[in-house]
């Protein structure tokens, strides 16, 4: 298949003008022996795309082409590719584009924690090139991070599983979510709504935890067995004392979470896992004695092995994130970012119709 050596994308040129992205042409990274090129079909919009676009995490190399919930078709394979991918295969790409694959972390299916890892968007490769994501017509990355998508799954619907979904699935899986477990999902938003669906599909008794009752009806539609509104139930920690085996915090910020109250709801040996990536200046405040018998930790995305398991689970259990499909374009992507500013979303966006803009 013939395609241009120069790629195109809808990019951020100035963080102050993030609601006005522009179409640009850019040079892709040098094509490596184990690299592949994908022709992008669609791409989910993650909260971290918004954070990077508006400069929440600081400046990035411009132009910044974001998008890291990518679904596309393999159009080129490096000479040493050996994962079995073929030209024409439909694959998904999440938040990671590279890892050394030689360290102990990589060898133990923890490549997302590789010290030499490169994120799919705005991250430097060893040669200094800043990675470009799926808000463009093509993506180039290491073959290891392109995951075959099972037949029968709608590309735009499952795209958010590739970052948001795996980010909550990994801590659920690694911390024993399943039959006989009582699992809390705190923060019912873009990631949290998938957390409720996934915890239920894994067999757990699910407690959806939010600040108000605004999302109560949605939570039950998603599969929650219980709903806790922390700002409207002053005694919630007492009411649910010694109840939960696991809580995954899916909120974007931790400042509104009462870490003196939350541990009271945990059973002995219970685990509180946060997937939040707030501003660097944000600090946790809690009483150490409140963590007696309880552990607290942070989790980041997931391994390729886990992404494959997640996509199979989505097929087996008919898991469908709540997605609004938006045609790709400068104005439409800018409007998506504006709506994310206002929280005007239930609960994910996926950019589609790439053939009409690229």
Cα 210 from Cα 207, distance rounded (Å): 10
Q: Which residues touch 50 (CB under 8 Å, ≥6 apart)? A: 56, 337, 340, 341
Could you count the other beta carbons within 10 Å of the beta carbon of residue 230?
Answer: 18
User: What pTM was estimated for this model as a whole?
Assistant: 0.96
Q: What percent of the chain has pLDDT over 70?
A: 98
The residues facing 271 across adjacent strands are 246, 295
Average pLDDT, rounded, for the chain: 95
11-31 pLDDT, tens digit each:
999 999 999 999 999 999 999
What's the pLDDT at 1? Answer: 53
227-272 pLDDT, tens digit each:
999 999 989 999 999 999 999 999 877 888 888 999 999 999 999 9
Check pLDDT > 90 for residue 33: yes
302-313 pLDDT, tens digit each:
999 999 999 999
Cα 237 from Cα 347, distance rounded (Å): 27
Beta strands in 161-286 (DSSP E): 182-186, 205-210, 226-229, 244-249, 266-274
Structure tokens at 300: 């980041």
Structure tokens at 248: 């995954």
User: What mean pLDDT do residues 321-331 have?
Assistant: 98
Which residue intervals of 225-297 are DSSP H helices?
Answer: 236-239
Residue appearing with tokens 């995951």: 147
């Amino acid at each position: 298949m013939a395609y241009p050596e120069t790629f195109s994308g809808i990019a951020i040129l100035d963080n102050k003008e993030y609601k006005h992205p522009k179409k640009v042409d850019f040079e892709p990274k040098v094509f490596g022996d184990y690299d592949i090129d994908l022709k992008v079909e669609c791409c989910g919009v993650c909260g971290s795309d918004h954070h990077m676009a508006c400069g929440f995490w600081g400046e990035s190399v411009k132009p910044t082409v974001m998008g890291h919930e990518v679904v596309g078709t393999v159009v080129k394979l490096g000479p040493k590719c050996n994962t079995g991918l073929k030209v024409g295969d439909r694959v998904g790409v999440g938040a990671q584009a590279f890892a050394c694959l030689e360290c102990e972390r990589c060898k133990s299916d923890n490549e997302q924690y590789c010290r030499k890892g490169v994120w799919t968007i705005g991250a430097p490769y060893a040669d200094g090139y800043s990675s470009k994501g799926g808000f463009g017509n093509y993506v180039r990355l290491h073959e290891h991070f392109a995951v075959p998508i099972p037949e029968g799954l709608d590309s735009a619907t499952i795209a958010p599983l590739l970052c948001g979904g795996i980010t909550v699935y990994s801590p659920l899986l690694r911390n024993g979510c399943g039959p006989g477990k009582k699992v809390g999902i705190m923060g019912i938003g873009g990631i949290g709504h998938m957390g409720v669906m996934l915890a239920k599909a894994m067999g757990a008794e699910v407690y959806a935890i939010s600040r108000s009752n605004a999302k109560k009806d949605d939570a039950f539609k998603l599969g929650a067995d219980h709903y806790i509104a922390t700002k409207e139930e002053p005694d919630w920690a007492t009411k649910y004392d010694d109840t939960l085996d696991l809580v995954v915090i899916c909120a974007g910020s931790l400042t509104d979470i009462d870490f003196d109250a939350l541990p009271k709801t945990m059973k002995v040996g219970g685990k509180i896992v946060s997937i939040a990536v707030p501003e660097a200046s944000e600090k946790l405040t809690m009483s150490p004695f409140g963590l007696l018998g309880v552990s607290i930790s942070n989790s980041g995305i997931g391994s390729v092995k886990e992404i494959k398991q997640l996509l199979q689970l989505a097929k087996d259990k008919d898991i469908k994130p709540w997605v609004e499909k938006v045609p790709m374009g400068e104005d439409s992507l800018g409007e998506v970012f504006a709506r994310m500013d206002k929280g005007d979303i239930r609960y994910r966006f996926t950019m589609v119709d790439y053939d009409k803009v690229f």
